[in-house]
């Protein structure tokens, strides 16, 4: 019943869009929607202006630069002092290089194109990857909403702003996952599994996305084969890097085990992971220890999986939405999420929400843009870190959870509640 109502609405809405006609109640919401998109893009443009006036922007880029310089001088880039001698005045001498050795060789290749000799070239590369990602996403859509996509890319969860202020490389992941979605929809599973492996090889935190192959429409042995391919790519790159320089691999493993390991990141603005949020909230009520956090985390993961299963029942014939909801669910359960990682949620959110009513899109964009509003509160000297429930430090996590809840509720109840007609009002 739910899927029938959703399909009826989808067909009607597409016909209305093609004809240019909207229900009278939609016109004010369309105007508000366009205005909201333009306001969010303008606010983000102001953020970019502020970011590039700060002398400390691009700290993660400087780490990459320092690692390449250390490598060029035959020094171990995993030794912090070796990086600090080149870029310590940019990074505050506290940021180590924590990526696998094979990424270092990739950075050295990029440096042949002056990427790590001029930060401007690096940012041009990031912008090009953003444009290519948007193009790949649009190629999957027969009726694209360009304004919605541009707004998501520019302003969603402040993902792009965080990538620019830190100089991190997660826009590369947006491009890789957009390419993976294209290959998945073309049922080129072998190629997509290889790209998934390459993404995981750059950052192991993306490895859980190999679980996407559990829902491809192929026999179960084939699904596990695709996952094995992705894992095999990661393993092969580590073996190659070991053969090239065993010392680097040993240093990398030592980095993961040391106090500078990403696994020891503290929660808050710099690591707004939901699991860390739960731990900090429990500490607020004097509940400490790993067990309480593990229990809450299991409940959280169970609810996400249950809600994702419900979504499947009404969208089992829509392959793109299936991939999107699973991708979003995996992201929400990652053990470590950095603020710039949110850029990759553009892909699932676009395909899940692009056909919503203008009223619902306004609500979704408002929730997705909460981090921007909090940034402006801080800009105007409002101390958001003192907000209750750790809102100031974890606004991206709260925004993510709220968006997921809205997607599930909208899909589950709205088509039936409004009988497929008033859905756009």
Q: What is the pLDDT of residues 128-146, one digit of tens each?
A: 999 999 999 999 998 899 9
Q: Nearest to residue 374, comparing CAs of 348, 399, 353?
A: 399
Q: What is the pLDDT of residues 286-312, one digit of tens each?
A: 999 899 999 999 999 999 999 999 998
User: Cα 183–337–181 angle (5° rounding)?
Assistant: 10
Predicted local confidence at residue 15, as pLDDT = 53
**Per-domain residue ranges for the chain?**
98-424
336 phi and psi angles, rounded to 5 deg: -150, 125
Q: What is the pLDDT of residues 192-201, one digit of tens each?
A: 999 999 999 9
DSSP state of 21: -
Residue 7 has pLDDT above 60, yes or no: no
Mean pLDDT score across all residues of the chain: 89
Cα 19 to chain centroid distance, Å, stands at 35
Predicted local confidence at residue 53, as pLDDT = 87
**pTM as predicted:** 0.90
Cα separation, 195 vs 60, in Å, equals 24
**Residue 6: band (very low, low, confident or very high) from pLDDT cuts 50, 70, 90:** very low
Predicted local confidence at residue 212, as pLDDT = 96
**Residue 17: band (very low, low, confident or very high) from pLDDT cuts 50, 70, 90:** low
Cα separation, 206 vs 314, in Å, equals 28
Predicted local confidence at residue 350, as pLDDT = 97
Residue 260 has pLDDT above 80, yes or no: no
Q: Nearest to residue 411, comparing CAs of 317, 299, 308, 323?
A: 308
When pLDDT is averaged across residues 222-237 and rounded to a whole number, the result is: 97
Helix axes 290-315, 274-284, angle to 10 degrees: 140
56 phi and psi angles, rounded to 5 deg: -95, 5
Predicted local confidence at residue 258, as pLDDT = 67
Predicted local confidence at residue 331, as pLDDT = 98
């Amino acid at each position: 019943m739910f899927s029938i109502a959703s399909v009826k609405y989808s067909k009607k809405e597409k016909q209305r869009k093609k004809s240019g006609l909207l229900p009278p109640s939609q016109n004010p919401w369309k105007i508000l929607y366009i205005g909201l998109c333009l306001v969010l893009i303008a606010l983000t443009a102001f953020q970019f202006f502020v970011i590039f006036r700060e002398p400390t922007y691009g700290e993660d880029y400087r780490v990459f630069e320092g690692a390449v310089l250390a490598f060029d001088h035959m020094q171990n880039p995993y030794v912090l002092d070796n990086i600090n001698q080149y870029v310590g005045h940019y990074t505050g001498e506290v940021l180590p290089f924590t990526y696998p050795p094979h990424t270092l060789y990739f950075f050295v290749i990029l440096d042949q194109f002056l990427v790590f000799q001029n930060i401007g070239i690096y940012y041009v590369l990031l912008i090009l990857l953003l444009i290519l990602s948007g193009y790949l996403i649009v190629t999957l859509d027969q009726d694209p909403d360009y304004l919605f996509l541009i707004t998501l890319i520019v302003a969603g969860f402040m993902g792009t702003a965080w990538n620019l202020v830190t100089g991190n490389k997660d826009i590369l992941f947006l491009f890789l996952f957009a390419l993976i979605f294209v290959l998945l929809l073309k049922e080129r599973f072998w190629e997509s599994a290889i790209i998934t492996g390459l993404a995981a090889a750059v950052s192991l935190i993306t490895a859980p996305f190999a679980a996407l192959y559990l829902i491809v429409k192929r026999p179960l042995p084939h699904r596990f084969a695709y996952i094995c391919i992705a894992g095999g790519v990661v393993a092969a790159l580590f073996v190659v890097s070991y053969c090239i320089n065993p010392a680097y691999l040993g240093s990398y493993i030592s980095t993961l085990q040391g106090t500078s390991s990403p696994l020891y990141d503290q929660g808050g603005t710099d690591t707004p992971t939901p699991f860390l949020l739960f731990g900090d909230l429990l500490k607020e009520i004097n509940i400490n220890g790993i067990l309480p956090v593990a229990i809450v985390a299991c409940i959280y993961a169970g609810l996400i999986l249950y809600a994702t299963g419900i979504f499947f029942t009404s969208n089992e014939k829509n392959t793109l939405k299936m991939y999107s909801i699973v991708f979003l669910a995996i992201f929400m359960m990652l053990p470590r999420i950095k603020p710039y990682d949110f850029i990759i949620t553009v892909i699932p959110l676009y395909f899940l929400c692009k056909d919503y009513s203008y009223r619902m899109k306004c609500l979704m964009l408002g929730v997705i843009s909460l981090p921007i509003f909090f940034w402006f509160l801080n800009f105007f000297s409002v101390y958001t870190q003192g907000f209750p429930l750790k809102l100031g430090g974890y606004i991206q996590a709260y925004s993510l959870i709220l968006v997921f809840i809205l997607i599930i509720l909208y899909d589950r109840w709205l088509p039936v509640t409004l009988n497929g007609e008033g859905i756009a009002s």
